[in-house]
């Protein structure tokens, strides 16, 4: 048990190294410097998410069939290759190929990473610690992002290419750490024989656990809107006269608050309870998106939004994992990521089109409106579902 529990400590280092990508805060500026328009950048992001849509379930099968560790290692190889392609590219189609490999690197990690950690805790009889571990994981992620944005912004003022070259070595370091994880025994108990069989069983598992879908949609719609705003914010700040280093500092501030909130997310959740958590996360984001769209306090609103993102990622990750079976965990978490990708395929280039032809502020206003509508709707739906479940449990006990 001591050996398998070492996965948790290794996970913190792995997440920090893996996410210390110096290209994180400047990739859109890098593409613009190499001649890509906002519309083309939006389409390239769609390529990334089309890859995600097509490959999330197959890569989830890889993790469920061949192991979470194997999937994670393969993901680091794909990340390294994507970085080489990006450095070598000067045309839309070569960049598109690079984004395919980037998408695969995320696909191979998205379901496998969470599944490996949750199954490790389950094997050790400590699954109740998942929210705390997830919070610490998010702290490592936000610290890595902080380093990435500050260092990446500084390096980018010298050369965009240098930021990607240094990221290559970071991928190699993450690859080395990924080899040290131990596969949980749950993987040795039941493995799917084929992709088709596993997809059928996973779809059945989704149906049997369909109560988790409102939580998935609540989290992923917010992620869609926040991620889109976050990336286009780079170009928005550039249009306002900020230099790369200043943009990096502003984005780094989002990570600072993210670290603080992520570390205490489980404590806040314990005090509020799931009902108040859903209510808060349904209303607050829309108000903050409005502040970005219609005030001059855009950086402050983005920074606070980052804290909401960190909180939701930790808390709803725990809510979702508790409701899905271990044998299909990687595939079902990949299915969750696929929902995000499907929405991004359409939404990200649309915001790029609006930003290019009508201005960033109008595009941010559309994001705010969608947040208020979707946040309100999903909050009402989730709360009603929880109320019906509580009433049914009360009836059964009576």
CATH number of the CATH domain containing 289? 1.20.1250.20
- pLDDT at residue 183, rounded to an integer: 86
Model confidence pLDDT, tens digit, residues 279-327: 888 889 999 999 999 998 888 999 999 889 888 888 888 888 777 776 6
pLDDT digits (tens, 9 = 90+) for 145-179: 788 877 887 888 888 889 899 999 999 999 999 99
Domain that holds residue 123: 2-184+195-397
Residue 166, both tokens: 């240094």
Q: Is 291 a member of any domain? A: yes
Question: How many domains does one find in the chain?
Answer: 1
Q: Whole-model pTM?
A: 0.70
190 within a domain of the structure (yes/no): no
Q: What is the pLDDT of residue 155?
A: 86
Q: How far apart are CA 185 and CA 63, in angstroms?
A: 13
**Cβ neighbours of residue 1 closer than 8 Å, sequence gap 6 or more:** 123, 124
Per-residue pLDDT of the chain (398 residues; tens, 9 = 90+): 577 889 998 999 999 999 888 887 678 888 988 999 888 888 888 888 888 778 877 887 788 778 889 999 999 999 999 999 999 999 999 999 999 999 899 888 877 888 888 888 888 888 788 878 888 887 888 788 788 877 887 888 888 889 899 999 999 999 999 999 988 876 555 565 666 666 676 667 667 766 777 788 888 899 999 999 988 887 888 888 887 777 777 877 887 887 788 778 878 888 888 788 888 888 899 999 999 999 988 889 999 998 898 888 888 888 887 777 766 666 677 677 778 878 888 888 899 889 989 999 999 999 999 999 988 887 787 777 665 555 555 555 55
- 310-340 as b/e: b if 16+ CB within 10 A: bbbbbbbbbbbbeebebbbbbbbbbbbbbbb
Tell me the average pLDDT of the chain.
83
Neighbour-count burial for 355-370, b at 16+ CB within 10 Å, e otherwise: bbeeebeebbbbbbeb
In a domain, 55, yes or no: yes
In a domain, 22, yes or no: yes
309 inside domain = yes
Domain-located, residue 326 = yes
- Distance, in Å, from the CA atom of 214 to the CA atom of 220, rounded to the nearest integer, reads 10
Q: Is residue 189 part of a domain?
A: no
- The answer to whether residue 389 sits within a structural domain is yes
């Amino acid at each position: 048990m001591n050996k398998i529990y070492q996965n948790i400590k290794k996970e913190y280092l792995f997440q920090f190294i893996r996410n210390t990508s110096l290209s994180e805060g400047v990739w859109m500026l890098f593409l613009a410097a190499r001649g890509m328009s906002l519309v083309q950048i939006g389409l390239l992001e769609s390529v990334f998410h089309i890859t995600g849509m097509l490959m999330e379930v197959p890569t989830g099968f890889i993790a469920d069939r061949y192991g979470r560790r194997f999937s994670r290692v393969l993901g680091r190889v794909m990340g390294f290759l994507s970085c080489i392609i990006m450095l070598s590219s000067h045309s839309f189609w070569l960049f598109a190929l690079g984004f395919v490999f980037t998408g695969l690197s995320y696909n191979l990690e998205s379901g496998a990473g969470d599944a490996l950690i949750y199954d490790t805790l389950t094997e050790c009889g400590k699954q109740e610690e998942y929210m705390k571990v997830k919070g610490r994981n998010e702290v490592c992620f936000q610290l890595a992002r902080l380093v990435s944005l500050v260092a990446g912004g500084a390096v980018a003022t010298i050369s965009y290419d240098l930021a990607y070259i240094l990221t290559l070595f970071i991928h190699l370091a993450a690859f080395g750490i990924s080899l040290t994880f131990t596969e949980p025994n749950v993987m040795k108990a039941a493995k799917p024989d084929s992709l088709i069989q596993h997809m059928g069983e996973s779809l059945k598992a989704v149906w049997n656990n369909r109560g988790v879908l409102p939580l998935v949609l609540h989290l992923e719609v917010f992620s869609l809107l926040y991620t889109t705003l976050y990336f286009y914010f780079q170009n928005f700040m550039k249009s306002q006269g900020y230099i790369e280093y200043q943009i990096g500092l502003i984005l780094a501030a989002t990570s600072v608050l993210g670290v603080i909130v992520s570390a205490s997310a489980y404590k806040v959740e314990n005090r509020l309870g799931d009902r108040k958590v859903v209510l808060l996360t349904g209303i607050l984001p829309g108000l903050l998106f409005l502040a970005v769209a219609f005030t001059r306090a855009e950086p402050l609103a983005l920074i606070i939004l980052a804290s909401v993102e960190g909180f939701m990622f930790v808390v709803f990750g725990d809510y979702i994992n508790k409701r899905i079976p271990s044998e299909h965990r990687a595939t079902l978490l990949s299915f969750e990521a696929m929902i995000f990708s499907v929405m991004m395929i359409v939404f990200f280039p649309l915001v790029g089109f609006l930003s290019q032809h009508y201005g960033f502020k109008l595009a941010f206003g559309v994001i705010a409106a969608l947040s208020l509508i979707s946040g309100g709707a999903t909050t009402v739906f989730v709360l009603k579902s929880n109320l019906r479940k509580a009433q049914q449990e009360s009836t059964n006990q009576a």
